[in-house]
Amino acid sequence: MMMGYKDIVPIGTSLIIGATTFGLGVIYSNWPYDLDTLWRHDVPSGFDVSLAHYQQWGNSPMYVHYTLHVVAALGLIGHFIKLYKPEEDAKYFEYGSLGLFMIAIIIYLTNLRTGVNSCLAGVWGDVDYKTGLNVMAASQVMIIFVLVGVLVLQGGLYYAQWYDEKLKEEFYRQEAEEAALAAQNQAKQEHDVVVEQEVEEIVEKADQTSASGAKGKKKQTAKKRKS
């Protein structure tokens, strides 16, 4: 048995949710290092610790970076699956989800990857490394809001589809009940008509029998008078 498009749509949703939560997990792993640079300023070594963290991230084997890129690609594939034949009422939400996901990828490529390369090269352009690290931390905050927006849209779409299915089930159930009631009433009417016809036939036969009996009695009376 071949899988239909509707059978593949949940796979697309799973890919989107998985990729989004994976991205949030990556940002969560950076949170302890960004905490002492962007949010708190009472730890003198906070910037040095954060810089060492991102340098270690940048010096990681390439398959570590490729893993993140593959997961992001899977998220895009999930969006494309759902946008292949989108429902008319939900397609704009799907486009919005894809747009938010693309914004997260763009912020990652333009700010985080560039920032990591700056951590490795020690070249920050027109700003110092502390400002550069704060830009990276702030960029991740923006990514959090964007990815949470993706989850909200996907959750809203799931609820809307679930609620729509419930309404359809209720509508079809009421239609079936009304059809069954109409069929029952029609069957009852037909039964009443048949019974009425049978009663009429019985009455008609009884009348005919009575008429025949009356004629027979009249003939017998006439014969007696003649004799």
Which of 14-23, 68-77, 118-127, 192-201 has the weakest average pLDDT? Answer: 192-201
Report domain extents, the chain.
Answer: 5-158
DSSP string across 42-53:
--TTHHHHHHHH
CA pair distance 35, 116, nearest whole angstrom: 17
**Residue 19 tokens, joined:** 């990729």
Place of tokens 């069957």: 187
The mean pLDDT value of the chain amounts to: 87
Written as one letter, the residue type at 101 is: F
pLDDT digits (tens, 9 = 90+) for 61-116: 999 999 999 999 999 999 999 998 888 878 888 999 999 999 999 999 999 999 99
Q: Quick: pLDDT tens for 159-208.
A: 888 888 888 888 888 888 888 888 888 878 777 777 777 777 787 777 77
Question: Residue 224: its pLDDT value, please?
Answer: 56
pLDDT attached to residue 71:
97
Is 45 a residue whose pLDDT tops 70?
A: yes
pLDDT of residue 178: 82
**pLDDT at residue 215 tops 70:** no
- For the whole model, what pTM was predicted? 0.74
- What long-range pairs does 45-54 form, CB within 8 A, spacing at least 24? 47/129, 47/130, 47/133, 50/133, 50/137, 51/119, 51/129, 51/133, 54/115, 54/116, 54/119, 54/133, 54/136
Per-residue model confidence (pLDDT) at position 12: 92
The per-residue pLDDT for 97 is: 94
Q: Quote the pLDDT of residue 211.
A: 66
